[in-house]
């Protein structure tokens, strides 16, 4: 699996909120994306907000605040503390409950679906095993199948069960189908292209994409996707190979470039994720900078994706399919028109 979307880069922090920098665990309760930072803070990203606002949450217990792993069901927090117990804290009633499961266990991961408490999954680090626990019936079932893996995260959504682990120093995601108390393996993928990142939890988004978190202070939440789905053989075979002939380092003022267009005379236009346009000469030195704005949307971080243009005019594409036409008048560029592109598949679904 490879990076699909660096979610952490696009989170907006209202005044008074601290940047998320020490993630312990994540939990997708869409439209809330819950984030636990053990000993520091518990909060969530608002998936319904255009700017992905982050909000911290105050009303939870000291014990839950120091949990090793934590998941939420509405007002109920379930968590583990590296012993043989499962803990529950009800934020609405301020009540705590302890479930004594295995005396010799060290539970470091917990996963529970958004509804019901009959299917709770735990990872016992001491014995390298999964434990299924029914909190209604007070019964548990042991599945010892993880001897070769160092498990760092669990997630469950309906009948999909995910395990985030490390195998031979490589991050790996395993997908299982839940059949009662049993798990049927569906597929496994290595996490590639993340360098020395240390992954520590996993979640499943409502659109089927997988979210993973890392211990990094900044680049710590990613949506990932199956690389093999991007590399189909297709109907056309490769005919040539491209060979690198030259490369140009960009100036420090250009941050997060997202689109490039060649102009006459070997000059260039470049757009960044920060809604900036740069005119560049043939050596990629900045000759002009333009900050752009749309009428119908707040062009926030990461909206601008591609640019084409010519003399005193350019067209800018956003990730929502909105195209802005900008023209130069009296040395300034201004928005002339907006065009919405809607592309659908054969089933009428928007891409």
What does the pLDDT look like over 114-152, one tens digit per residue?
A: 777 888 999 999 999 999 999 988 899 898 667 778 999
* Encoded tokens for 257: 């470039």
Domain with residue 272: its CATH number is 2.40.10.480
Assess if residue 16 is contained within a domain.
yes
Residue 94 DSSP SS3: coil
* Encoded tokens for 188: 């496994």
Domain match, 151 and 275 both = no
Domain match, 142 and 79 both = yes
Give residue 348's pLDDT. Answer: 76
Domain match, 52 and 124 both = yes
What residues make up the domain containing 167?
2-227
The backbone torsions φ and ψ at residue 163, rounded to the nearest 5 degrees and listed phi first, read -125, 130
pLDDT for residue 105 is more than 90 = yes
Is residue 150 within 8 A of residue 166, CB to CB? The reply is yes
Kindly report each contact of residues 56-65 with a partner whose C-beta sits within 8 Å and lies 24 or more positions away, as own/partner: 56/17, 56/18, 59/91, 60/89, 60/91, 61/89, 61/94, 61/96, 63/87, 63/89, 63/96, 64/89, 65/38, 65/39
pLDDT, the chain, mean: 90
Give residue 312's pLDDT. Answer: 84
136-158 burial, b for 16+ CB within 10 Å, e for fewer?
eeeebeeeeebeebebbbbbbbe
Domain match, 141 and 271 both = no
Assess if residue 346 is contained within a domain.
no
* Encoded tokens for 266: 């070997």
Which has more pLDDT, 298 or 308? 308
Domain with residue 203: its CATH number is 2.120.10.30
Domain match, 67 and 188 both = yes
Which has more pLDDT, 297 or 139? 139
Assess if residue 270 is contained within a domain.
yes
Domain stop point among 175, 210, 227: 227
Give residue 349's pLDDT. Answer: 75
What does the pLDDT look like over 208-267, one tens digit per residue?
A: 899 999 999 999 999 999 987 765 555 566 677 889 898 889 999 998 899 999 987 789
Domain match, 163 and 290 both = no
User: How much is the pTM?
Assistant: 0.70
Assess if residue 79 is contained within a domain.
yes
Instruction: Please tell me whether the peptide bond between 31 and the residue prior to it is cis, using omega within 30 degrees of 0.
Output: yes
Assess if residue 347 is contained within a domain.
no
Give residue 237's pLDDT. Answer: 64
89, containing H or E segment: strand 85-90
Assess if residue 112 is contained within a domain.
yes
Given pLDDT bands bounded at 50, 70 and 90, which one contains residue 19?
A: very high
Residue 63 DSSP SS3: helix
Residue 285's alpha-carbon distances to 269, 278, 279, in angstroms, are 11, 9, 8
pLDDT for residue 269 is more than 70 = yes
Domain match, 71 and 110 both = yes
Domain stop point among 208, 227, 246: 227
Residue 82's alpha-carbon distances to 66, 70, 186, in angstroms, are 11, 12, 29
Give residue 198's pLDDT. Answer: 95
Give residue 148's pLDDT. Answer: 78
Alpha-carbon dihedral angle through residues 343, 258, 47, 123, given to the nearest 10 degrees: 110
For the ranges 67-71, 115-119, 167-171, 260-264, the one whose mean pLDDT is highest: 67-71
Instruction: Please report, rounded to a whole number, the percentage of residues in the chain having pLDDT higher than 70.
Output: 95
Domain match, 272 and 322 both = yes
Domain match, 57 and 205 both = yes
Domain match, 45 and 125 both = yes
Among 62-71, 157-166, 323-332, the least confident range? 323-332
Given pLDDT bands bounded at 50, 70 and 90, which one contains residue 63?
A: very high
State the average pLDDT over residues 40-65: 92
Number of domains in the chain: 2
Domain match, 133 and 80 both = yes
Domain match, 261 and 222 both = no
pLDDT for residue 200 is more than 70 = yes
Assess if residue 351 is contained within a domain.
no
Assess if residue 265 is contained within a domain.
yes
């Amino acid at each position: 699996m490879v990076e699909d979307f660096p979610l952490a880069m696009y989170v907006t922090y209202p005044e008074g909120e601290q940047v998320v920098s020490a993630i312990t665990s994540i939990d997708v309760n869409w439209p809330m994306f819950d984030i636990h930072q053990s000993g520091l803070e518990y909060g969530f990203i608002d998936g319904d907000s255009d700017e992905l606002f982050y909000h911290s949450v105050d009303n939870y217990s000291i014990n839950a605040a120091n949990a090793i792993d934590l998941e939420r069901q509405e007002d109920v927090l379930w968590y583990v503390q590296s012993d043989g117990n499962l803990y529950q804290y009800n934020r609405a009633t301020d009540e705590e409950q302890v479930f004594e499961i295995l005396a010799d266990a060290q539970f470091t991961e917990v996963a529970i679906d958004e509804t019901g408490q009959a299917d709770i999954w735990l990872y016992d680090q001491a014995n390298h095993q999964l434990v299924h626990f029914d909190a209604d019936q007070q019964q548990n079932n042991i599945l010892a199948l993880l001897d070769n893996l160092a498990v760092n995260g669990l997630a469950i959504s309906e009948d999909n069960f995910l395990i985030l682990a490390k195998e031979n120093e490589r991050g790996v995601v395993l997908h299982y189908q839940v059949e009662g108390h049993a798990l049927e393996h569906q597929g496994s993928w290595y996490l590639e292209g993340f360098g020395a990142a240390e992954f520590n939890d996993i979640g499943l988004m409502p659109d089927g994409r997988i979210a993973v978190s890392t211990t990094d202070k900044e680049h710590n939440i990613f949506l990932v996707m199956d690389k093999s789905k991007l590399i189909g053989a297709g109907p056309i075979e490769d005919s040539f190979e491209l060979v690198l002939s030259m490369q140009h380092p960009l100036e420090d003022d250009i941050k997060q470039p997202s689109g490039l267009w060649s102009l006459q005379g070997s000059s260039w236009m470049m757009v960044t994720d920060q809604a900036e346009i740069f005119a560049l000469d043939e050596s990629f030195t900045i000759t002009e900078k333009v900050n752009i704005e749309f009428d119908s949307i707040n062009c926030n971080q990461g909206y601008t994706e591609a640019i084409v243009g010519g003399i005193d005019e350019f067209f800018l594409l956003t990730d929502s399919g909105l195209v802005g036409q900008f023209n130069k008048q009296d040395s300034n560029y201004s928005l002339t028109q907006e065009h919405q592109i809607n592309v659908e598949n054969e089933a009428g679904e928007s891409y």
